[in-house]
Amino acid sequence: MFRIIQCGNSLAYSLPVDPSAQFEPGMVGQLRLIGNQVVMGVSDGSAPFGIIDDIKRNTFSAVSVDEVVVTPHIDGVMVGPDLVSPYDIKKELVNPNVSPTSFVSRNVDVELNARNGVITFLAGTPLNFSLTGTGTPDAIRTVVSYSYQIPNIPGDDSTMSSGHVTVWFDRMIIESDQFETNRRYPVNSPIYVSTAGLLTTTPVLPNYPAVGIVMAPPTSIHSSLQLLWL
């Protein structure tokens, strides 16, 4: 998803597309040289050019941000000072087909079955949540974020007929869901580009340029990232 909230006076460029590139609207593009032709591909963070406004992908993806996962009631056992789970517990995420590298559990370590969208709280995990509200922990709660492939919807290629891709490069305020879900996005933090062309708050290398500033972080209600593109 890519949405322009406010932009300058410049129009987008239409540039020859890298035939091997796979991208979605909201990812970051970068100029490449194939033979004697300059083409637009996906940025690796070293020289980002602009925001891609076309799709060339086999599948569609989306993100889930700050999804709360709570286990059923657990009769915990004491291990040292903590009540812990005496057995493994599996919980389904809202979405299957999770991208493993995008997944993060912010409160508790879990094991992920990416294809089925199932996480496992291993035996020995401390209880940290009270289902009854008494203050005595009797469950495990964590908050997860991840990107996932949307099932049963084939991909698309909006560049097929023209061989060109649309790229916005001027200063603008935008929203995008093409960001690394395993990062935090505090307001006013600098935005960089990952090796996969995704927006992130962590540069690949210290000398890689920042491309924007966070204006509004993604949340469980509004899962897109709002930023000022520089």
Quick: pLDDT tens for 129-146.
Answer: 999 888 899 999 999 999
* Mean local confidence (pLDDT), 8-33: 93
Looking up tokens 């050019």 gives 49
Give the pLDDT of residue 155: 83
On the question of pLDDT at 153 being above 90, the answer is no
Q: How confident is the model at residue 6 (pLDDT cuts 50, 70, 90)?
A: very high
Across the chain, where does the E strand assignment appear? Answer: 2-7, 13-16, 28-34, 37-42, 50-52, 56-70, 77-79, 82-84, 89-92, 104-105, 111-113, 118-121, 141-157, 164-168, 172-176, 190-193, 199-200, 212-216, 225-229
Average pLDDT, the chain: 94
**2: amino acid identity, one letter:** F
pLDDT of 10 strictly over 90: no
Would you say residue 107 has pLDDT above 90? Answer: no
- Fold classification of 2-55+158-229 is Virus Head Decoration Protein; Chain: A, (2.40.300)
Q: Which two tokens stand for residue 192?
A: 């960089």
Domain boundaries, the chain: 2-55+158-229, 62-152
Gap between the Cα atoms of 50 and 168, Å rounded: 5
Amino acid at 37: Q
If you ran DSSP here, which 8-state letter would residue 139 be given? B
d(CA 165, CA 92): 38
How confident is the model over 208-230, as a mean pLDDT?
A: 95
Percent of the chain predicted with pLDDT > 70:
100
Phi/psi for 21 (5° steps) reads -75, 150
CA distances from 105 to 116, 146, 225 (A): 17, 9, 19
The Cα–Cα gap between 36 and 22 comes to 21
**Percent of the chain beyond pLDDT 90?**
85
pLDDT of res. 134: 86
Confidence of residue 9 (pLDDT cuts 50, 70, 90): confident
> For 189-202, what is the mean pLDDT?
96
What is the predicted pLDDT for the residue at 208? Answer: 96
Q: Tokens 């493993």: give the residue.
A: 100
| 115, two tokens | 């294809």
Provide the pLDDT for residue 22. 93
CA distance 190 to 140: 34
Q: Which amino acid is at 62?
A: A
- Report the distance separating Cα 169 and Cα 161, nearest Å: 23
Q: For residue 166, what pLDDT band results from cuts at 50, 70 and 90?
A: very high
Is the pLDDT confidence value at 184 over 90? yes
So what's the pLDDT on residue 51?
97
Of 31-45, 149-163, 190-204, the range with the lowest mean pLDDT is 149-163
- CB-based contact 120:113 (threshold 8 Å): yes
For the chain, first and last CA: distance in Å? 19
pLDDT in tens, 55-94: 999 888 999 999 999 999 999 999 888 899 999 999 999 9
Q: Which pLDDT score is estimated for 8?
A: 83
